[in-house]
Amino acid sequence: MRLEDFDYLLPEDRIAQLPCEPRDASRLLVLDRGRDELEHKQFFNLPEYLRPGDTLVFNDTRVIPARLIGHKEQTGAKIEVFLLNRLTATDWEVLVKPGKKARPGTVIVFSEALRCEILDCTDFGGRVIRFQFDGVFEEILDKLGETPLPPYIKEQLTDKERYQTVYARERGSAAAPTAGLHFTQGLLEHLRQQGINLAFVTLHVGLGTFRPVQVEDITQHTMHKEYYTITPEAAELINATKQAGNRVIAVGTTSVRTLETAAAGGQVRSGSGWTSIFIYPGCQFQVVDAIITNFHLPKSTLLMLISAFAGRERVLAAYREAVVRQYRFFSFGDAMLII
């Protein structure tokens, strides 16, 4: 499969710059794979497509202020550090910009309370660093760090919580699991009252989710690892749903990747670990029966994942229809339900 097979034309003005208010007023494109039909709804219409006994699976990760601006202790040169994966209490995998001269041994100062030393280079062009800090690391990071927004979003958020889901709990992501941004507490309660189960897993979004594909043959692309957790309670609920013949509906591609990583014989195993799963057309899904997702960038691994689930031609046709009907795309854009 070629990279250009997952390209499509998108006018720049279709890229959403600000989130919809209220959250669940965004539009919802429903793609029914069985009937090969599209419907155009609002996100608050989602309960119409769910049945009692279905289980929605959410990624409850919380975005951290992952961008830090500092200077080299040796030269005073400005340098940016972007946190990706926490390895220990003090050590992180990061991206450094500019990185050409960020060699092991370099010390970066962010404030009197926070500095780091570069320990090693990684195989994906990043660095491993060790922080030294005076106080509680999370409190220092909240004070000094910036919440990273995707580069295609030029507007500034007045409320940083709009780049968090309403159920975000577990700190650790460098980017939001954006399919979940459409849910409100009121909608979640409505779903519970309808008999829909809500399960929560964690995948800390890092480089694996948004790293661009740079090889022409997509099967040669390597995903960067990301950390996930599935509790015994969540696994039990998801497995009971499958055993009862009901549907498991993943909210977002990160939930899909978490579930399919932990799948064995159609069941989900609880536990924590690292995943570098890459799902593209030809892959078989063991657990996920439906997906709620946003509209993804051309040539992205996320577009390849939903193409694996619904068929590349069908997905690209739906995207063309969404462009014509002026849906809003990417992180702050509208949603799709693929059933």
Both 250 and 271 in one domain: the answer is yes
With the CA atoms of 151, 167, 279 and 12 taken in that order, what torsion angle do they form, in degrees rounded to the nearest 10? -30
CB-based contacts of 75, cutoff 8 Å, min separation 6:
none
**Shared-domain flag, residues 249 and 109:** no
* DSSP codes, 128-188: EEEEEESS-HHHHHHHH-B----TT--SPPS-GGGGS-TT--EEEESS--GGGGG--HHHH
Check whether residue 259 and residue 307 sit in a common domain.
yes
The structure tokens 């978490």 sit at 258
Distance in angstroms (rounded) separating the CA atoms of residues 206 and 224: 8
Do 242 and 213 share a structural domain?
A: yes
| Residue 100 pLDDT | 87
The answer on 258 and 310 residing in a single domain is: yes
Residues 186 and 325 in one domain: yes
Both 49 and 82 in a single domain? no
User: What pLDDT is stored for residue 207 in this prediction?
Assistant: 77
What pLDDT sits at residue 268?
A: 98
pLDDT band (50, 70, 90) for residue 201: very high
Judge whether 244 lies within some domain: yes
pLDDT digits (tens, 9 = 90+) for 130-146: 999 999 999 999 999 99
Tell me, yes or no, whether 321 and 219 share the same domain.
Answer: yes
Q: Which one of 144, 169, 187 terminates a domain?
A: 144
The fraction of the chain above a pLDDT of 70, given in percent, is 100
Is residue 150 assigned to a domain? no
Q: Is residue 149 part of a domain?
A: no
* Domain-located, residue 153: no
pLDDT (tens digit, 9 = 90+) per residue, 215-256?
999 999 999 999 999 999 999 999 999 999 999 999 999 999
pLDDT of residue 124: 85
Same domain? 123 vs 175: no
- Tokens for 202, please give them: 């964690």
pTM of the model: 0.95
Total residues belonging to the chain = 339
Residue 24 lies in a domain: yes
* Residue 40: inside a domain: yes
User: Residue 125: its pLDDT value, please?
Assistant: 87
Residues 171 and 199 reside in one and the same domain: yes
Mean pLDDT, range 134-159, rounded to an integer: 94
Give residue 101's pLDDT. Answer: 85
Report the domain count for the chain: 2
Q: Give me the domain span that covers residue 184.
A: 3-63+158-338
**Residues 72 and 198 occupy one common structural domain:** no
Is the pLDDT at 208 greater than 80? The verdict is no
Instruction: Give the model confidence (pLDDT) of 59-95 as tens digits.
Output: 999 999 999 999 999 999 999 999 999 999 999 999 9
Residue 123, pLDDT score? 85
Pairing of strands 91-97, 114-121: unpaired
Residue 29 lies in a domain: yes
User: CATH number of the domain that 310 lies in?
Assistant: 3.40.1780.10
33 has a pLDDT exceeding 90 = yes
Q: Specify the CATH number for the domain of residue 72.
A: 2.40.10.240
Closest alpha carbon to 292 in 18, 50, 10, 9: 50
Q: Are residues 86 and 230 in the same domain?
A: no
Residue 66 tokens read as 């992952």
Q: What is the distance between the alpha carbons of residues 104 and 111, in angstroms, rounded to a whole number? A: 20
Query: Taking every pair of C-alpha atoms in the chain, what is the biggest distance, in angstroms?
Result: 64
| pLDDT of 209 over the 80 cut | no
Q: Tell me what the mean pLDDT of segment 144-165 comes to.
A: 93
Q: Give me the pLDDT at residue 206, please.
A: 87
Cite the DSSP H helix spans in the chain: 137-144, 185-193, 207-210, 232-243, 253-261, 301-310, 312-324
Q: What is the average pLDDT value for the chain, to the nearest integer?
A: 96
